[in-house]
């Protein structure tokens, strides 16, 4: 039995060592099978190549890539301040994606998705709570909200206004959906069926009762444009009548075919959208007031325009631009992406983060030292707040150098604790009058997460790979700029020689001298076209309309600019409007047949691009001498067979 166990152990060791063998050696450096396959499976080209050819081609590409990156590191390009700043910024951007419990996050995503498929018509009843109120008043308020809850449970779908219960504030919230309410309230309303009412819920400043009147299938999201006639403060009936007449006049003009976008620019009082033709950010249920949303829903097809209607903001006219229905299947990537982005910003993400913080304790070697008594921890936490104006106060306290928590490769000190206390208590948005004992529990979580974040590459292979990928990509860019791109473009002698040796590659196809004008809108483009036709110099027009009009002239192949080959010289194209609202036109100055030789100046951009390939090839030959490449053919064969 002992021999069998020893034999099995040797076999296992042999398999492990084989898996750890490098696939590619370049100089003193190597690339493992695991690293290669991760890169290959992510970046392999979609081609008709055989499996064997595809893998072998990528082996060469990846070896060349790693040699270039290694050369950049040999030149210490990774020590440049800008490079380090870029890496640090990227780390900050992605790190939050790795700091929540994946299982909990997925469960929250599933819950949000399910809720997003339906909208609830919600009514809320509230009684405010005053911290200084007497016990009798507190009980009276509780009894009032409790009575509302019991009455509504007995009479489903009924409503109780303020006159029936003066202590209770009534609010029809309209239709709501996921993320419309704080998570604790959302859980209450989505736990109710139409006609049901919740029991009283005590928040910090009020008692709340929620009723669900209706439930409907989600109406999805809208893109709308609006013209707003805002209501002046303290507007009387005469002023409102003037606004209504103005809105009706604009509506009549729109119904007769006027351009909504142009009118919004001239008459809308919405300062955030009028320059963009009145276009609002995409929105869904619960974003705007119930009247506004109801009018939006009434618009059945894109291009429909609403009659003027009034809200507390003023009088609105809406135009429907597009509507995105709620997905039928969960596999709608755009819908899920939007939900996950909202989830990351919502207070419920704390559930996944708290679960995550508890789980990492065992990974990071967390251990309290008990080097400082709790009494001293809390006393110095108080004293450091008395010295709030002294910047280095936490570092001067007797406990500052004492280690409070040990981790696998680091620790948290008394100074860390005191800095945390001062930052937390000094932030009114965070500090909710917690005791020092409560803050100590928060600090343990904070210190653990902070240590984990600072050492995340050690604990999370995916994060480490993403950081490595970013660093290597940036290093590749820097070394290519230094040794290929800038070197090729500045080598005037080499460029000219390459052009002379390859002139037959630089031949014009059918082309034309053209003036190309682009504008931020079709109105500006049309006005520019009329001005140029009347003899105004196009450069002067661009100067006068800076930021709104651009122009360029030169010789272009007809296929480059989608030109009309049948147009006459000195003629103009029609003004074309792009999908983003910009517009442009061309003036045809002179046409040329294909087959003409490009001059060096005309071909310079193409010559530089081709010559860069020559420079890169020479440089790669030098790198291959410096870093000789050896491929583990046995391991490569295994990879090809298993792909």
Q: Which of 266, 165, 283, 279 is nearest to 222 (CA)?
A: 283
From CA 588, how far away is CA 207, in angstroms rounded?
Answer: 73
Q: Which has more pLDDT, 2 or 568?
A: 568
Please give the average per-residue pLDDT across 572-588, as a whole number. Answer: 91
pLDDT at site 47: 58
- Residue 132 DSSP label: T
Radius of gyration for the alpha carbons in the chain, expressed in angstroms and rounded:
34
The most confident of the ranges 151-160, 259-268, 341-350 is 259-268
Residue tagged 């932030």 (tokens): 427
Helix axes 349-360, 436-454, angle to 10 degrees: 80
CA distances for 177 relative to 106, 121, 190, 218, angstroms: 19, 9, 9, 8
Helix ranges, 461-596 (H): 461-480, 486-490, 492-501, 522-533, 538-544, 558-561
From CA 109, how far away is CA 100, in angstroms rounded?
Answer: 13
Same topology, domains 221-324 and 508-596? Answer is: yes
From CA 319, how far away is CA 260, in angstroms rounded?
Answer: 8
Q: Is the Cβ–Cβ distance between 298 and 208 less than 8 Å?
A: no
State in words which class domain 221-324 has: alpha beta
Sign of the alpha-carbon dihedral angle for 49, 55, 59, 64: positive
Residue 127 reports pLDDT greater than 70 = yes
End-to-end CA distance of the chain: 38
Mean pLDDT for all residues in the chain: 89
> Exposed (0-12), middle (13-18) or buried (19+): which is 295, by Cβ within 10 Å?
buried
Pairing of strands 206-217, 118-128: antiparallel
- Residue 429 DSSP label: T
pLDDT at site 14: 43
From CA 254, how far away is CA 243, in angstroms rounded?
Answer: 16
Comparing 69-78, 166-175, 295-304, 504-513, the range with the smallest average pLDDT is 166-175
3-state class (DSSP) for residue 199:
coil
* Structure token pair of residue 239: 């002023």
Comparing 49-53, 71-75, 524-528, the range with the smallest average pLDDT is 49-53
Architecture of domain 508-596: Roll (3.10)
Q: Helices H, strands E: what count in the chain?
A: 25, 19
Q: Is the Cβ–Cβ distance between 557 and 496 less than 8 Å?
A: no
pLDDT in tens, 513-523: 999 999 999 99
pLDDT in tens, 161-192: 765 677 888 889 999 999 999 999 999 999 99
What would the DSSP string read from start to end of 392-412? THHHHSTTTTSEEEEETTEEE
Q: Which has more pLDDT, 69 or 346?
A: 69
Please give the average per-residue pLDDT across 561-572, as a whole number. Answer: 90
pLDDT at site 357: 82
pLDDT in tens, 71-91: 999 999 999 999 999 999 999
pLDDT in tens, 600-611: 999 999 999 999
Q: Is the Cβ–Cβ distance between 212 and 120 less than 8 Å?
A: yes
From CA 250, how far away is CA 167, in angstroms rounded?
Answer: 44
From CA 464, how far away is CA 459, in angstroms rounded?
Answer: 8
Q: Is the Cβ–Cβ distance between 207 and 129 less than 8 Å?
A: yes
Give the Cβ contact number of residue 293 at 10 Å. Answer: 20
pLDDT at site 330: 67
pLDDT in tens, 374-404: 999 999 999 988 887 888 899 999 999 999 9
Give residue limits of the domains in the chain.
118-217, 221-324, 365-454, 508-596
118-217 domain in CATH 3.10.50.40? yes
Where are the extended beta strands (E) located within 183-296? 201-202, 206-217, 221-230, 283-284
From CA 500, how far away is CA 505, in angstroms rounded?
Answer: 10
pLDDT in tens, 3-18: 433 334 343 344 444 4
**What is the model's pTM?**
0.62
% the chain with pLDDT above 90: 64
Q: Which has more pLDDT, 604 or 44?
A: 604
From CA 134, how far away is CA 129, in angstroms rounded?
Answer: 11
The helix (run of H) or strand (run of E) holding residue 586 is strand 583-592
* Structure token pair of residue 42: 């992510």
From CA 573, how far away is CA 577, in angstroms rounded?
Answer: 12
Residue 31 reports pLDDT greater than 70 = yes
* Structure token pair of residue 213: 């009147």
* Structure token pair of residue 64: 């060349």
């Amino acid at each position: 039995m002992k021999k069998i166990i020893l034999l099995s152990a040797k076999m296992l060791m042999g398999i492990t060592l084989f898996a750890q063998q490098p696939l590619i050696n370049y100089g003193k450096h190597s690339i493992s099978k695991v690293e290669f396959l991760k890169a290959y499976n992510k970046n392999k080209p979609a081609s008709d190549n055989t499996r064997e050819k595809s893998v072998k081609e990528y082996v060469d590409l990846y070896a060349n890539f790693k040699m270039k990156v290694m050369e950049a590191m040999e030149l210490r390009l990774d020590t440049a301040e800008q490079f380090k700043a870029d890496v640090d910024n990227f780390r900050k951007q992605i790190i939050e994606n790795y700091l929540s419990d994946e299982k909990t996050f997925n469960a929250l995503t599933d819950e949000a998705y399910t809720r997003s498929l339906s909208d609830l018509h919600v009514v809320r009843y509230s009684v405010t709570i005053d911290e200084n109120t007497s016990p009798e008043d507190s009980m009276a308020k509780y009894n009032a909200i409790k009575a509302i809850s019991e009455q509504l449970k007995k009479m489903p779908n009924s409503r109780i206004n303020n006159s029936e219960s003066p202590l209770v504030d009534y609010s029809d919230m309209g239709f709501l959906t996921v993320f419309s309410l704080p998570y604790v309230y959302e859980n209450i309303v989505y736990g109710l069926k139409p006609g049901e009412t919740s029991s009283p819920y005590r928040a910090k400043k009020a008692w709340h009762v929620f009723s669900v009147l209706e439930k409907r299938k989600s109406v999805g999201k809208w893109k709308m444009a609006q013209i707003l006639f805002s209501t002046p403060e303290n507007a009387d009936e005469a002023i409102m009548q003037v606004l209504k007449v103005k809105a009706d006049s604009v509506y009549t003009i729109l119904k007769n075919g006027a351009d909504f976008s142009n009118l919004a620019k001239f008459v809308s009082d919405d300062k955030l959208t009028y320059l963009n033709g009145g276009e609002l950010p995409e929105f869904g249920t619960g974003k705007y007031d119930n009247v506004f949303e109801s009018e939006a829903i009434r618009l059945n097809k894109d291009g429909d325009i609403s009659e003027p209607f009034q809200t507390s903001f003023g009088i609105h006219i809406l135009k429907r631009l597009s509507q995105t229905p709620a997905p039928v299947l969960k596999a709608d990537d755009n819908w899920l992406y939007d939900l996950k982005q909202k989830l990351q910003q919502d207070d419920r993400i704390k559930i996944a983060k708290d679960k995550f913080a508890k789980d990492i304790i065992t990974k990071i070697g967390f251990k309290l030292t008990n080097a400082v008594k709790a009494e001293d921890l809390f006393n110095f936490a108080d004293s450091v707040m008395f010295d709030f104006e002294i910047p280095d106060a936490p570092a001067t306290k007797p406990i500052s150098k004492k280690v409070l928590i040990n981790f696998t490769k680091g620790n948290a000190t008394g100074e860390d604790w005191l800095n945390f206390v001062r930052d937390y208590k000094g932030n009114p948005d965070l500090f909710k009058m917690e005791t020092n004992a409560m803050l100590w529990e928060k600090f343990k979580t904070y210190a653990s997460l902070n240590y984990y974040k600072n050492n995340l590459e050690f604990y999370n292979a995916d994060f480490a790979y993403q950081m490595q990928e970013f660093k290597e990509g940036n290093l590749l860019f820097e070394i290519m700029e230094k040794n290929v791109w800038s070197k090729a473009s500045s080598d005037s002698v080499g460029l000219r020689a390459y052009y002379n040796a390859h002139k037959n590659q630089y031949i014009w196809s059918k082309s034309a001298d053209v003036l190309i004008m682009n504008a931020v809108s079709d109105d500006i483009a049309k006005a520019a076209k009329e001005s140029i036709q009347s003899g105004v110099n196009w450069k002067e027009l661009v100067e006068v309309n800076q930021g709104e009009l651009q122009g360029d002239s030169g010789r272009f192949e007809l296929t480059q600019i989608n030109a009309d080959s049948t147009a006459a010289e000195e003629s103009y194209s029609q003004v074309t409007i792009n999908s983003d609202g910009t517009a442009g036109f061309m003036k045809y100055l002179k046409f040329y047949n294909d087959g003409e030789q490009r001059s060096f100046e005309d071909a310079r951009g193409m010559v530089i691009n081709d010559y860069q390939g020559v420079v890169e090839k020479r440089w790669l030959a030098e790198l291959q001498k410096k870093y000789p490449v050896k491929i583990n053919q046995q391991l490569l064969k295994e990879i090809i067979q298993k792909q």
